[in-house]
Structure 1
Amino acid sequence: MKSGKVDQAKTQRLFYGWVVVAAAFCVALVAYGVQYSFGKFLDPLSEAFGWSQALVTGAASLFMFSRGALAILTGRATDKYGPRITVAIGGFFLGLGLILTSRISAAWQLYLFYGLMVGFGLSVAFAPLVATASRWFVQKRGLAVGIVVAGTGVGTAVIPLLARYLIDTYEWRWTYIILGLVAWAIIIPGALLLWRSPEDKGLLPLGKAEAIAGDEKNQNIKEDSLTSERAGFSLKDAAQTRAFWLLLAIIIFWSICLQMVMINIDKHAIGLNIPEIVAAKFLVVIGVLSIIGRLAMGAVSDRLGGKRTLAICLVLQALAMFWLLRATDIWMLYLFAAVFGFAYGGCVPQLPVIAGEIFKLKSIGAIVGVQMLGVAIGGAIGPLLGGRVYDVTGTYYLAFMVGGICTILALILLAFIRAPRKVSP
């Protein structure tokens, strides 16, 4: 029986795991593209209803928090029911929330439809995708995860630019309707391709056939493939370690800086008398360079490890933030966008990589789900803080300074992370 599966895995022309990776890439592209397009709606919403920047960005903060808080539940649902039904339901509510946001007439509706409903839809767009892709690969797992998270970078580059064009052409209400329909058209069909594991299709993870065959040249693969699904920390055991909470704090500080920039960089550039069409391109540059950062630093982490690679990325991100404080010309902002995009993109795959290095794969989906809660907490604080500082001072200078300091704090905490000695069976 086993040998039959091994032969099937070896002789199959296109390993289905790559279909899973492609589907997860598309889901991440649309979901995160929607998330990072919210900055394009700040002025249209403020002007349409006379709302302050803080009130509008408050919806983004609620969205980030609800997405992260629900990521733990959707992660558990993925473990129990599989990613297909979980991601499909999330995609349905994401599209519905966007369409309902197009009909709002009061602030509470923005908070309900965008902050909560869209937030729920986005809660399926990271941990379930990364965990599912990881199960399909023993060999090339880092590459597979890197491709999936690169989808978020492509979405960051493409969807906000599309949103800007649609807002200018059709106004913001029709733009939300179109984005909702796009979410339904891509995420729901993509979810149906996300089989939980190779075993569900009578296959083996890529590289596991060699391990079972006992190829001596693949001895490390053999040991990993035969133990990784069973060995490691449960979520409960991981939560009892100092490394777990240090990593969560690092993620929160990093996310405060990230989301503060992603939501407010357009408004900041326009405040420097830079034309809107040019300001819109900074987010595109961030997105494109983040794709390169995810893939390049993913490869670097295979050699240096996740912790050292994350340290490099955090140093670059901090330097970019303090450069932003002095950036007044277009070329300076382009340079910021390039360095910041590469640095933040490089950070993204390191989060599940470090979790895997420290806690192994036994409960990696649930642990990454908790990481998303950290991203959400930071993501709730960052935009709200940026909007509040702007309302009070008229600039984002102090907000971006805080973002740089938060990045340095994350770097300091990283130095104190040590892998726990004991691994639960």
Structure 2
Amino acid sequence: MTDTTETVPAASDTSPAPTRQRLHYAWVVAAVALVVLLGSAGFRSTPGLMMDALNAEFGWSHATVAGAVSVNLTLYGLTAPFAAALMDRFGVRLVVVCALLTISTGAGLTVLMTRPWQLMLCWGVLVGLGSGSMAGAFATTVSGRWFTARQGLVTGVLTAAGAAGNLVFMPVLAALVQNHGWRTAVVVVSLCATAVAVPVLLLMRERPADLGLLPYGATTAPPEPVLTGSALARSLRILRGAARSRAFWLLAGSFAICGATTAGLVGTHFVPAAHDHGMPVTTSASLLALIGVFDVIGTIASGWFTDRFDSRKLLVTYYALRGLSLLLLPQLFAGSLRPPMLAFVIFYGLDWVATVPPTVALCRKHFGPDAPVVFGWVLAAHQIGAAVVAELAGLVRDKLGDYDAAWYAAGGLCAVAVLLCLALRVGRAAGAPAAA
């Protein structure tokens, strides 16, 4: 009997030559998000650099200019949860482009202002709304949609870009204010906001499925999102559910203190406080820029730590160290740069927004798929805390003649944040419903 069985060639005889693995498009989206956050973040700090110039031209006090910053910070925070829902409803690209054009309009119109309410409207309302639409919800949405592996690291990188951009641009803007006037600085901000919209239009994509891909590191496709009702209704519905959770209030409270002790106090008042001690504005702005450089290192490292260690313990460590550094700060100011101040800048930079990756991770752990919107509300608390302290510190400076009381109070607030984080219990697995 003739054997008719075909002989199957060995795999090694027919296997194709190995091909180089293509770069996952998630990294392209993350790079675009980084450019947006880095480029747009520098716009929020400009009023703090213009305090002396506006005082000289219009006679506006520190508290008046800080009031515009306070409005900006408040709207920046309150916009974030709605922006996350709008991104789910209308797409990331449309929301981000509209936000950048809003910033450009608000900054550009300030060249015409002559009254404090106009500063409030342009820089407080318009720039606040635009910046808030690209706040932490943007970074959380991008990392959550496009990454399964490396979520903490990507969140840390994008968060660092947002905070570092806010600080690294300060020397450039300070030099423009000092050498060419504050109007030149705000025109540059307006033009940059428009330019940043270009890579968003060209390269941003909504979800991996749009390109036939899985999220980076995923082995199965995530479920299709089911969206019902308006973005406003969804944001409020998620807030109502999250507000029944003890974890939400502990996270929101600690993050409010984070905002108060960074953007509200140091980000807004460090330059004028240093100027009170005789330090040139360009030097103090350069120190804030150096904080931004070390913030990149600290926040990326925090993202790496968040993928590996208990997020609650990380937060306790970060707030405790921040509080100690703020208590020491009043003794470090001088008319020139000295080693102790440089040490503070490096140390504080490493801690600046290192709190964000573990806070985002805890939101994901406790609130699952709703985490981007929940983090938006937690971020709103962050910005409200920043807004309140930005205004109060300005009042302290006007009444007492210096900022010392504000620095000491901020150190005490960090101790409160430590207690709030210690009160957090281990959360449920991601995707579990929020407990009452």
Name the TM-score, length of structure 1 as normaliser. 0.89
| 1:234/1:153 CA distance change after superposition, 3 Å | closer
Letter in structure 1 aligned against 2:71: L
SS of structure 1 residue aligned to 2:348? helix
* Higher gyration radius (CA): 2
> Distance in 2 between the 1:354 and 1:420 partners?
7
**Is 1:145 aligned with 2:149?**
no
CA deviation map 1:325-368 (0-9, x unaligned): 221343222222111111123112222122112222x1122112
Equivalent position to 2:353, from 345, 354, 369: 345
The Cα of 1:196 is off from its aligned counterpart by 2.0
Counterpart in the other structure of 1:182: 192
**1:310-321 aligned within 5 A:** 310-321=315-326
**1:242-321 aligned within 5 A:** 242-258=246-262, 259-321=264-326
Counterpart in the other structure of 2:165: 155
**1:66-215 aligned within 5 A:** 66-126=75-135, 127-190=137-200, 192-208=202-218, 211-212=219-220
> Distance in 2 between the 1:346 and 1:303 partners?
15
**1:346-385 aligned within 5 A:** 346-360=354-368, 362-385=369-392
**Is 1:386 aligned with 2:393?**
yes
Equivalent position to 1:57, from 66, 70, 76: 66
The Cα of 1:227 is off from its aligned counterpart by 7.9
SS of structure 1 residue aligned to 2:206? coil
| 1:267/1:311 CA distance change after superposition, 3 Å | same
The Cα of 1:284 is off from its aligned counterpart by 1.2
Counterpart in the other structure of 1:215: none
The Cα of 1:301 is off from its aligned counterpart by 1.7
Counterpart in the other structure of 2:424: 417
CA deviation map 1:351-392 (0-9, x unaligned): 2122112222x1122112102211220111111011000000
The Cα of 1:312 is off from its aligned counterpart by 1.4
Letter in structure 2 aligned against 1:110: L
> Distance in 1 between the 2:66 and 2:428 partners?
43
Counterpart in the other structure of 1:4: none
**1:6-17 aligned within 5 A:** 13-17=22-26
Moved more, 95-104 or 333-342: 333-342
Letter in structure 2 aligned against 1:390: R
SS of structure 1 residue aligned to 2:120? helix
**Number of aligned residue pairs:** 399
| 1:228/1:156 CA distance change after superposition, 3 Å | same
> Distance in 2 between the 1:227 and 1:300 partners?
28
> Distance in 2 between the 1:51 and 1:306 partners?
43
**Is 1:238 aligned with 2:242?**
yes
Letter in structure 2 aligned against 1:277: T
> Distance in 1 between the 2:149 and 2:253 partners?
31
What is the RMSD of the two structures over their aligned residues, measured on CA atoms? 2.2
The Cα of 1:133 is off from its aligned counterpart by 2.6
Moved more, 107-116 or 400-409: 400-409
| 1:226/1:354 CA distance change after superposition, 3 Å | same
Name the TM-score, length of structure 2 as normaliser. 0.87
Letter in structure 2 aligned against 1:260: L
Counterpart in the other structure of 1:323: 328
Letter in structure 2 aligned against 1:395: D
Letter in structure 2 aligned against 1:128: F
Counterpart in the other structure of 2:233: none
SS of structure 1 residue aligned to 2:22? coil
CA deviation map 1:190-217 (0-9, x unaligned): 2553322101222111122xx24xxxxx
Letter in structure 2 aligned against 1:339: F
- Contact kept, 8 Å, 2:303 with 2:358, in 1: the verdict is yes
Moved more, 42-51 or 298-307: 298-307
The Cα of 1:188 is off from its aligned counterpart by 4.7
> Distance in 2 between the 1:76 and 1:55 partners?
33
> Distance in 2 between the 1:228 and 1:243 partners?
27
The Cα of 1:57 is off from its aligned counterpart by 0.5
The Cα of 1:266 is off from its aligned counterpart by 0.8
Moved more, 363-372 or 274-283: 274-283
